[in-house]
């Protein structure tokens, strides 16, 4: 069986037209003799709306929360109305109503209690993927794709770290054998929601924002798929976020290691944990555009080909905080760093970057709500200051290993920007530094202009950029005439 996991993000299922495109793409894979397993996100912006509804309810705004839910109910009903016919439609709309009635009950409960726990937040937010996956499965069946809906919570077993639950690999393989494999043997396309899971006791959890990519990779790993496809709204992994820099180029091939660094340090196109299950089983991952299915996208494989360009990509991660711990009292004492990291460990808070001197340690974190408690604990050890609205710029590329003069070029390109912390080392394939959040766009554009002036056509899609430039020139000429 030529099994391929196809994950479609929020924009690829955002409305009836997008779901139509998705159905065509999946039917195309079936026609090629492949056996797809489809993983879908919630329709675009639904997760944000559900979180907003839960937040409003818990602040006592029952009417506001129910209004948000009512809007989502209409959107799902309307999309179903545009996609389904005959008997399927009334049955499906009754099911949608029952789902939203259940959600509204939870929202009313939240408004009465006035408290939102991470566990209830996961329950509320899980509705997005529960709805989209049933809708997509029904739309596939209507279009003669033999599809079967699978509740992802039966397959993705996690711990109970609500909001960012950790998957339990051994259970997942066994659950996939029970809930997914029989459909494949009968020639059906299993369709499930990404992002959601459940504990062994059956309580709903989520894998963290953007987690549907992770689900796709987990399912691919569990089923030993021949490929994992991440379908999104851009042509693949680009040299930087095209929303910041319209000149960004598609990267044709990238290594697992490079992609993992990029995702971890802010490139939203891939959830940071996606690569791990793929690396474990050496399954190639492909990032593709559901609005431009003909494009080759980006292949992520174990060994990337050599390139003339030092960097493959520039990622930016915003909303970070720098914590400065200044320790005159503890000067020269050993065990000091351990004591600091114990505090972060106690609060289950991940640290992105660290830089140390004899008397001070600077760390960056992306969690705001835990900061006051962390600072209180740290102040028992030293003087503590923290400052938000910072961003991390991360330049990634296997070819910076052992190259002289790269750092000078990087900091020359951002000479007008105030750089707060610098890090290079560890993986040897990234160079990162912290700046003010407001400087991100300027820094990324300057770096992109400096390092992607003359990109290697073996690695980057230079033809597409040149074609786009030619069209722009023609348009400008026409406007001038
Ligand atoms: P999906 O809903 O399909 O998971 P996301 O919004 O999570 O899609 O990720 C796709 C978006 O990631 C793109 O629209 C793009 O703006 C952003 N992005 C950030 N960095 C990059 C990059 N290096 N390459 C491609 N896209 C990027
Ligand atoms: N729907 C979830 C989110 O918006 C998961 C995902 O789309 O990957 O974060
Ligand atoms: Mg995403």
Instruction: Please give the distance, rounded to the nearest whole angstrom, from the Cα atom of residue 46 to the centre of ligand 2.
Output: 9
Ligand 1 neighbour 240 (Cβ under 6 A): yes
Residues 383-405 pLDDT 10s: 899 999 999 999 999 878 777 88
Token readout for 130 is: 């529960």
Nearest atom in ligand 2 to 214's CA: 8
Ligand index nearest the alpha carbon of residue 268: 1
What length is written for the chain? 481
Token readout for 255 is: 């290594």
The pLDDT, as a whole number, for residue 425 is: 67
Of 253, 260, 287, residue with least CA distance to 275: 260
Is-contact 326 275, C-beta < 8 A? no
Ligand index nearest the alpha carbon of residue 233: 1
Q: Is pLDDT at 101 greater than 90 in this prediction?
A: yes
| Protein residues placing their CB within 5 Å of the ion ligand 3 | 9, 210
Residues pairing with 431 in the sheet: 395, 424
Ligand 2 neighbour 272 (Cβ under 6 A): no
Nearest atom in ligand 2 to 211's CA: 8
The pLDDT, as a whole number, for residue 333 is: 67
Ligand 2 neighbour 128 (Cβ under 6 A): yes
Ligand 1 neighbour 313 (Cβ under 6 A): yes
Residue minimizing CA distance to atom 15 of ligand 1: 241
Cα 239 from chain centroid?
17
The pLDDT, as a whole number, for residue 329 is: 60
**Rounded mean pLDDT, 272-277:** 90
Ligand 1 neighbour 237 (Cβ under 6 A): yes
The pLDDT, as a whole number, for residue 330 is: 55
Q: Using the Cα atoms of residue 436, residue 440, residue 442 and residue 448 in order, give the sign of their dihedral.
A: positive
The pLDDT, as a whole number, for residue 57 is: 98
Pocket residue to mutate for ligand 1, from 241, 258, 261, 291, most atoms within 8 A of Cβ: 241
Residues 165-194 pLDDT 10s: 999 998 999 999 999 999 999 999 999 999
Of 234, 233, 215, residue with least CA distance to 225: 215
Instruction: Please give the distance, rounded to the nearest whole angstrom, from the Cα atom of residue 401 to the centre of ligand 2.
Output: 34
């Amino acid at each position: 069986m030529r099994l391929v996991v196809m994950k479609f993000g929020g924009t690829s299922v955002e409305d009836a037209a997008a779901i139509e495109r998705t159905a065509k793409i999946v039917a195309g894979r079936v026609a090629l003799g492949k056996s797809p397993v489809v993983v879908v996100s919630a329709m675009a912006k639904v997760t944000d709306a559900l979180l907003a509804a839960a937040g409003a309810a818990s602040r006592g705004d029952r009417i506001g929360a129910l209004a948000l839910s009512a809007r989502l109910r209409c959107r799902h009903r309307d999309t179903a109305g545009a996609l389904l016919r005959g008997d399927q439609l009334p049955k499906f709309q009754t099911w949608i109503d029952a789902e939203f009635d259940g959600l509204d009950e939870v929202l009313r409960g939240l408004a009465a209690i006035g408290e939102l726990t991470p566990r209830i937040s996961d329950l509320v937010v899980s509705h997005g993927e529960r709805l989209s996956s049933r809708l997509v499965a029904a739309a596939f069946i209507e279009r003669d794709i033999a599809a079967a809906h699978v509740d992802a919570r039966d397959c993705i077993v996690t711990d109970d770290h609500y909001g960012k639950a950790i998957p339990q690999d051994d259970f997942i393989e066994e659950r996939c054998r029970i809930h997914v494999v029989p459909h494949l043997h009968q020639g059906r396309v299993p369709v499930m929601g990404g992002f959601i899971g459940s504990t062994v006791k059956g309580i709903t959890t989520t894998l963290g924002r953007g987690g549907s990519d992770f689900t796709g990779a987990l399912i691919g790993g569990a089923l030993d798929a021949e490929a994992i496809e991440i379908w999104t709204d851009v042509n693949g992994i680009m040299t930087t976020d095209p929303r910041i820099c319209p000149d960004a180029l598609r990267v044709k091939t990238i290594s697992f290691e490079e992609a993992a660094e990029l995702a971890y340090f802010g490139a939203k196109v891939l959830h940071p944990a996606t690569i791990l299950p793929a690396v474990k089983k050496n399954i190639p991952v492909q990032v593709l555009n559901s609005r431009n299915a003909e494009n080759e996208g980006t292949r992520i494989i174990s060994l990337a080909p050599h390139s003339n360009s030092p960097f493959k990509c520039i990622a930016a991660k915003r909303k970070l905080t720098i914590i400065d711990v200044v320790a005159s009292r503890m000067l020269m004492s050993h065990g000091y760093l351990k004591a600091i990291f114990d505090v972060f460990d106690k609060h289950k808070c991940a640290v992105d970057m660290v830089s140390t001197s004899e008397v001070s340690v600077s760390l960056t974190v992306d969690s705001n709500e835990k900061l006051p408690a962390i600072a209180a604990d740290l102040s028992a050890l030293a003087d503590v200051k923290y400052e938000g609205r910072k961003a991390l710029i991360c330049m990634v590329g296997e070819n910076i290993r052992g190259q002289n003069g790269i750092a000078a070029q990087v900091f020359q390109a951002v000479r007008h920007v105030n750089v707060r912390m610098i890090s290079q080392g560890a993986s040897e394939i990234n160079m990162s530094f912290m700046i003010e959040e407001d400087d991100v766009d300027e820094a990324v554009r300057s770096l992109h202009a400096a390092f992607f002036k003359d990109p290697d056509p073996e690695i980057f899609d230079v033809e597409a950029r040149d074609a786009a430039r030619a069209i722009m020139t023609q348009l400008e000429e026409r406007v001038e005439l």
